[in-house]
Amino acid sequence: MNVMNISDRVGFTEARLLAAGFSELHLLAEDADRLLSALDAIEAAGDDNASRRAARVRRQIENFEPSVTMIGQIKSGKTTLVNALIGQTELLPADVNPWTSVVTSLHLHPEREGFENTASFRFFDEGEWDRLVSGGGRIGELASRAGADEELEKIKEQVAQMREKSMARLGRKFEMLLGQQHDYGYFDQELVERYVCLGDDLDEPEAPGGHEQGRFADITKSADLQMQRAALPVRLCVRDTPGVNDTFLMREQITIRAIRDSRLCVVVLSAHQALSSTDLALIRLIAHVKSRDVLIFVNRIDELSDPSTQIPQIAESIAETLEKHKGPQDAQVIFGSALWACAALEGDPGNLPPSSRAALETYAAGAPVPQGAGNLDVETPVEMAWAFSGLPELQSAIAERVTNGVGASMLHRAAASGLNLANGVAATNLIGSADPSGRDGGDLTAREARARMDGIVADAGAALKKDFDAILDSFSERMNRVQDSFLERATSSLIVHLEKFGEQSPWTYDPAGLRVLLSSSHKVLARKCTAAFDKAVREAAEQISELYARAFGLGPDDIPITLPRAPQVPPPVSLGRTIALDLQGSWWKRWWLQRKGYHAYAEGFVELIRAETDPFVQELRDDLAEGVRTEACEEFDSFLNEQLSVFASMAQMQDAGADELAAFVSENAPRERNEQLKTALEILNGLAAR
Ligand SMILES: Nc1nc2c(ncn2[C@@H]2O[C@H](COP(=O)(O)OP(=O)(O)O)[C@@H](O)[C@H]2O)c(=O)[nH]1
Ligand SMILES: [Mg+2]
């Protein structure tokens, strides 16, 4: 396979198809460009301090990469859908062996001169691998806690087999590879297969020097491919996950992590079993994500005998299931077929299997052209297949969420920074152009002013950290209380049950209540964190404004300060992980039968459920809440540093001698530069006001 061939194969038709749904991303790209031009003006008009800070904001805009993660059952068509979404129908191998656990991230870049494709593959580290292999993953832990020895043995056997095969494939090097990363300055299908795709012929020893497929797939944890896409005006990361299924809960953890890494997720379902009972674990995973950040793609509608009639029925049943199980009820549901999309991209819908083609024709004849297909001419078979594949609708939903969600937040943050810098430059110019006699309008010496500014910054930073300590402590306490009272209530319910029905009748207890309470603790946390951040920036800005007045004689109109918004608190996705109480199947029953006497029940129960629910509490406290604190403090530091830089520029101007001032005036005299700064201020004011 030719390397150039695979990476640059998007032809004209494909690019046109792909562009149809992404049009809203152009709005984001245009705003980002205007912001960048405003930063150019700041760099041109400001001193070194301002230029350095402006360059930093520029990098934040340039590195901005929204991402979307595909989750769903194995074989629902996630990988095929990702291939269709990026217009390369054969890039990622579909139908991979269900043992693989690789999360693949495709980092898509707008077209740019001199861009080089790269790839990196990371392996599980030793700890992760041991957990998977020796414990049989989380399912092994669950099974052993619930006393399901037989299942555990089965899993262990499977894992041992897998390990043997890995060793055979990877040889002596195997253990040394754990924790490592392999980087490449290119990629092609073969390279990707080597890392993400276990061969089907697991029992065949590899032919000497023969195909390399799946060589590393057992131990690959993540694959990151950097590539460019002509149809995209901004960067976008599309993440493919291995899929959740019943047997390997290790995957659940992988999926949770992948959802946490993207604001937006697409739940891919199979039309002929959309949201069946096996998808309940999936609903739990998205139950705590905002509806707006979840898209449901019902794939494989080409396998329905009569899509037009069946689609409304499926939609209704999905709505019912989501309502019943408290999933994200307002999530947008899109129907489609990745197979039709791939056929369109390959320019040959005529080659579809007859039943799939017939379904397309019936569907297209009986349904209106789906949203997002833009001005595609659905008369041609290629465009018809694309329009009805659901891909344009999926793209436009992604584009809308990105543009108005993370995109808008990023623009606001960057515009607020830019505005503070631009106002700093304008205020510095004001000081520099004032009549020398009226220049020192302040009542503080330069040294006093500097000391005061440093004091404000240090105190403000320390105060926010202290506030966060208190918030995190009370969050942790609250979660412990919730966990204790859940255990208490569940145990007394258990005892009542035992007294009434005896030991032979299994008891169930829905852990939903625990999740609801922990989720409301999370809401309180989010509210408090946002309030603490807002208060910190407001108070710091007031003190700094006051100092600007005293040190430079500048009022709030001369040097206004724009407050950054509090960072978003991520949803408590980890509450979706499966715990023993969720599995009211055979293991749970067996756990019953092994206990002797009520006391053993109650004690064993508390121990089991505490061990099961501890990870919720730990993850919310140590990952989520700590992450929120770190981000808020960084954001606040960045705001304070911006003001320090503005202060430094103004102080320098205030103290400038006659020579420096003359140089400044000659350099800044050109009206053109001031005009540019004025335009920049207008742009930034407009964007920051949104
Ligand atoms: N008929 C039909 N088959 C599909 C569709 N999407 C994917 N497939 C097939 O379903 C199988 C599993 O797809 P894959 O993308 O690997 O699923 P994943 O496990 O969710 O990533 C492959 O053989 C695909 O060709 C579709 O829309 N219609
Ligand atoms: Mg897949």
CB neighbour list of residue 136: distance below 8 Å, 6 or more residues apart: 143, 152, 155, 156, 158, 159
Q: Token pair for residue 211?
A: 């195909």
List, for residues 256-303, the tens digit of each pLDDT value: 888 888 999 999 999 988 777 667 778 888 998 999 999 999 999 999
Determine the distance separating the centroid of ligand 1 and the alpha carbon of 74, expressed in angstroms: 9
pLDDT in tens, 455-491: 999 999 999 999 999 999 999 999 999 999 998 888 8
Q: How confident is the model at residue 133 (pLDDT cuts 50, 70, 90)?
A: low
- Are 105 and 79 spatial neighbours (Cβ–Cβ below 8 Å)? no
Q: How far apart are CA 511 and CA 608, in angstroms?
A: 13
* Residue 614 backbone dihedrals phi, psi, to 5 degrees: -55, -45
Find residue 655's DSSP bridge partners. Answer: none
Per-residue pLDDT at 31 exceeds 60: yes
How far is ligand 2, taken at its centre, from the CA of residue 589, in Å? 33
pLDDT digits over 301-356, tens only? 999 989 999 999 999 999 998 998 888 989 999 999 999 999 999 998 989 999 99
Segment 439-456, tens digit of pLDDT = 555 678 889 999 999 999
* Residues with a CB atom less than 6 Å from ligand 1: 72, 74-80, 94-95, 243, 299-300, 302-303, 337-339, 356
> Above 70 in pLDDT, residue 207?
no
- Residues 72 and 268: beta-carbon distance below 8 Å: yes
Beta bridge partners of 103: 222
Calculate how far, in angstroms, residue 251's C-alpha sits from the geometric centre of ligand 1. 19
Q: State the average pLDDT over residues 86-96.
A: 87
Ligand 1 centroid vs 513 CA: distance in angstroms?
Answer: 36
Tell how strand 181-184 and strand 118-123 pair up.
antiparallel
Length of the chain: 690
Higher pLDDT, 587 or 67: 67
559-574 burial: b if 16+ Cβ within 10 Å, else e:
bebbbbebbebbbbbb
pLDDT of residue 278: 64
pLDDT at 57 > cutoff 70: yes
Ligand 1: residue of 89, 95, 240 to mutate (most ligand atoms within 8 A of CB) is 95
Q: Which stretch, 337-341, 615-619, 676-680, has highest mean pLDDT?
A: 337-341
Is 609 or 335 the better-scoring residue by pLDDT?
335
Domain-wise residue ranges, the chain: 3-50+66-124+179-399, 439-655
pLDDT attached to residue 554: 93
> Higher confidence at residue 674 or residue 207?
674
Closest C-alpha residue for ligand 1 atom 8: 77
Architecture of domain 3-50+66-124+179-399: 3-Layer(aba) Sandwich (3.40)
Pocket test for ligand 1, best of 80, 89, 99, 104 (most atoms within 8 A of CB): 80
pLDDT given for residue 444 in this prediction? 86
Judged against a pLDDT cut of 70, whether residue 213 lies above it is answered with: no
Average pLDDT, the chain: 86
pLDDT for residue 130: 75
pLDDT band at 393 (very low <50, low <70, confident <90, very high): very high
What's the mean pLDDT in 344-372?
A: 89
User: What integer pLDDT is reported at residue 145 of this predicted model?
Assistant: 63
Residues 256/544, Cβ–Cβ less than 8 Å: no
